[in-house]
Amino acid sequence: MNVQRSTFNVEGYLFDFCIRGHEKPMSSFPPYIRCIVANADPVAWPVSGQGFNECSFTSLANALNLLHGEPRFTKDEFIREAGLLFQPKFGGTLPPLKALQLRRRGYGAHFGNLSHTDGERVLRDLIDRGVPVIVDLYPAIQIGRLRLWGQHATVLVGYSLPYRDASGALREEYYLVDAQWPDLGYFDLTTNDVDRDGDGIPERYPGNRTLERNEFMRLWSSRNYCPVFRTPAEHDAWYRETMRCASGLPVIGWVGQRLLFGSDDRVKEEA
């Protein structure tokens, strides 16, 4: 039997793959991947694309379906519930509404902001806990240096440890379910599957969109996030253990802070 070997060095770790007969185990991701869903089989990914400016509602349904491993929710029920708060001609809806709709269904969530802390550390910790995180990409509203919300809601589902591809280039990536990628109406889970180890066979990667680490941080300029926990108790326990909330701006107040920017979340150890 023909046996091929492919080796990756990852920050002191040696990843050595043995591919028999030019076949790969397509039910698993490469070992440098950290993901909320371990199974790479598309059946384990009950997600779908969006309609025009429906990204918030589609991301809610996709995040919950991934959390449960089955298609329990559709974007349409969240759209109906939003009523007049959904205005596709004016950009969709208000980003903080996501957390309200999740809590109404008994899930643990909040609309927060990680601008003043190690945001990557928070996101990676949530992924390691199996928690999908809705993140808003692209700046939508900016007043001076203040960024209010993001323009496009996506679900962060994984990240990679640093690894080298077949050319020797060092890579580090984030993986998302983007309901409008690569374009509206063309959603496909295989969009970001690509051959990185040079054997001519694409590897499977989480979600449908891959962003290089620096590109993700550039596009995620709002630093808004909405973690999706199974229960409020799980969410609150995580927050007490790892996070603290800074006091809001006096002029804006507690409610305004959460509606305009999201709660000012800080890693507790940074206090």
Per-residue model confidence (pLDDT) at position 232: 98
Quick one: DSSP state of residue 261? T
Per-residue model confidence (pLDDT) at position 93: 75
pLDDT tens, the chain, 271 aa long: 333 444 444 444 434 444 333 445 668 999 999 999 999 999 999 999 999 999 999 999 999 999 999 999 999 999 999 888 878 877 777 888 999 999 999 999 999 999 999 999 999 999 999 999 999 998 755 555 555 566 899 999 999 999 999 999 999 999 999 999 999 999 999 999 999 999 999 999 999 999 999 999 999 998 999 999 999 999 999 999 999 988 755 555 555 555 566 889 999 988 6
Per-residue model confidence (pLDDT) at position 1: 38
Per-residue model confidence (pLDDT) at position 6: 44
Per-residue model confidence (pLDDT) at position 143: 55
Domain of residue 21 covers 3-270
Contact 24, 203 (CB under 8 A): yes
Instruction: Quote the number of domains for the chain.
Output: 1
Question: The whole model's pTM is what?
Answer: 0.86
| Cβ neighbour number for residue 240 with a 10 Å cutoff | 10
Contact 155, 62 (CB under 8 A): yes
Per-residue model confidence (pLDDT) at position 127: 98
What six digits make up the tokens of 157? 């589902």
Q: What is the CATH number of the domain that holds 249?
A: 3.90.70.10
Contact 204, 211 (CB under 8 A): no
Secondary structure (DSSP) of 113-163 = E-TTS-HHHHHHHHHHTT--EEEEEEEEEEETTEEEEEEEEEEEEEEE--E
Per-residue model confidence (pLDDT) at position 156: 98
Please state, in angstroms and rounded to a whole number, the distance separating the CA atoms of residues 101 and 129. Answer: 22
